[in-house]
């Protein structure tokens, strides 16, 4: 029957009624809190383009994880700022790398927390790209040793796929040895999930799951992150390996390939501008699905709120709710602690 017999506003009349029939709910357990780990001690340096987000020394990171855990946020993902960079991303896979040390400290100090390790090379490469770089007139490097040449000074270069897999696999094993619970490759090299799965299994970490950044787009929303992680490419861009924002069907192919190679969980990045991709992935795949509310999304909310153009708390929670409604079972968000406080 139509109006006046049907009145959908009946169930919107009070907050308790709205809560009763709410279809989508947020919980602190669904948040994954990104942390940027830097050398030193007692360091809590705010990122200029991300108010409220900090580069943290390991001791401060332990405190932050403990505080997040007390609010019900069970998972963190670690990004590292190494003391030195080179052309083979040594800081990413070194046994005493910054993330490796942070993982050991966190796991020894905070109980029942899931520590994820972002596996990418951009923060550790002197050129800032996510893989090995060669000039177009050079032979393609076939191994780690061959990949040590200096990056090209011109734009005539290529991000080499297969040689990068060795570094990514080595990094993953190193992180697993340090106690990282979940390996999260974000580089977008072809075949990286399979290479990492093989390396983990051969090293005795067959029970360590992989959360693949399966559909990571070449987005303009990453700018503040690059300041936080000091990962801006010194030349060129990342469009030859990150996805074209125009392509939804290709995103499904990328996810499908990662699942076939052994991904245990999948991710779409960014989140809000790609809600259709999240929804399509949710409809097609049965794996746990994460979405990354990236730095640019966070920075836009903060900037608008500081200009008093929006209600900060309301927009923060609405944006997270919409990501969840689109189908994400997990949300990587810099608002993890604040949203958890609000939900409490």
Domains of the chain: 33-343 (3.20.20.70)
Determine whether 269 is an active site residue.
yes
- Minimal CA–CA distance to 186: which of 88, 96, 282, 254? 254
Structural element, H or E, at residue 197: helix 192-202
Give SS3 for 182.
Answer: strand
Catalytic residue among 63, 84, 107, 269: 269
Give me the pLDDT at residue 114, please: 98
- Minimal CA–CA distance to 119: which of 54, 163, 170? 170
Instruction: Tell me the β-bridge partners of 309.
Output: none
CB-based contact 147:163 (threshold 8 Å): yes
- Minimal CA–CA distance to 181: which of 256, 252, 104? 104
Catalytic residue among 107, 216, 234, 341: 216
CB-based contact 119:186 (threshold 8 Å): yes
Give me the pLDDT at residue 325, please: 98
Hey, how many other C-beta atoms are within 10 angstroms of the C-beta on 142?
12
Determine whether 216 is an active site residue.
yes
Whole-prediction pTM = 0.93
Give SS3 for 163.
Answer: helix
In angstroms, the CA 81 to CA 223 distance is 16
pLDDT in tens, the chain (344 residues): 799 999 999 999 999 999 999 999 999 999 999 999 999 999 999 999 999 999 999 999 999 999 999 999 999 999 999 999 999 999 999 999 999 999 999 999 998 999 999 999 999 999 989 999 987 766 655 555 545 455 555 558 899 999 999 999 999 999 999 999 999 999 999 999 999 999 999 999 999 999 999 999 999 999 998 888 888 888 888 889 999 999 999 999 999 999 999 999 999 999 999 999 999 999 999 999 999 999 999 999 999 999 999 999 999 999 999 999 999 999 999 999 999 999 99
Structural element, H or E, at residue 200: helix 192-202
């Amino acid at each position: 029957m139509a109006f006046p017999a049907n009145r959908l506003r009946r169930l919107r009349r009070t907050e308790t009624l709205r809560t009763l029939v709410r279809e989508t709910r947020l919980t602190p357990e669904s948040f994954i809190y990104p942390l940027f780990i830097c050398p030193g001690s007692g360091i809590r340096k705010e990122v200029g383009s991300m108010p409220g987000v900090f580069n943290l020394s390991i001791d401060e990171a332990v405190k932050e994880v403990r505080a997040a855990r007390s609010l019900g946020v069970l998972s963190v993902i670690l990004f590292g700022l190494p003391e030195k960079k080179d052309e083979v991303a040594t800081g990413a896979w070194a046994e005493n790398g910054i993330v490796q040390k942070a993982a050991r400290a966190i796991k020894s100090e905070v109980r029942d927390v899931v520590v994820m390790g972002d596996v990418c090379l951009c923060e550790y490469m002197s050129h800032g790209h996510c893989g090995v770089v060669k000039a177009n007139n050079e032979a393609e490097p076939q191994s780690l040793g061959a990949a040590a040449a200096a990056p090209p000074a011109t734009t005539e270069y290529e991000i080499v796929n297969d040689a990068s897999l060795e570094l990514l696999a080595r990094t993953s094993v190193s992180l697993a040895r340090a106690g990282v619970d979940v390996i999260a490759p974000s580089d977008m090299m072809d075949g990286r999930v399979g290479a990492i799965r093989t390396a983990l299994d051969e090293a005795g970490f067959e029970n360590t799951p992989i959360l693949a950044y399966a559909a990571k787009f070449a987005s303009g929303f990453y700018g503040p992150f690059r300041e936080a992680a000091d990962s801006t490419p010194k030349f060129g861009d990342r469009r030859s390996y990150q996805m074209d924002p125009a392509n939804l069907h290709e995103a499904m192919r990328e996810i499908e390939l990662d699942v076939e190679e052994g991904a245990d969980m999948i991710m779409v990045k960014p989140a809000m501008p790609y809600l259709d991709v999240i929804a399509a992935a949710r409809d097609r795949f049965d794996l746990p699905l994460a979405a990354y509310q990236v730095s640019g999304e966070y920075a836009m909310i903060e900037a608008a709120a500081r200009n008093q153009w929006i209600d900060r708390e309301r927009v923060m929670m609405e944006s997270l709710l919409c990501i969840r409604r689109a189908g994400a079972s997990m949300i990587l968000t810099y608002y993890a602690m604040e949203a958890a406080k609000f939900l409490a």
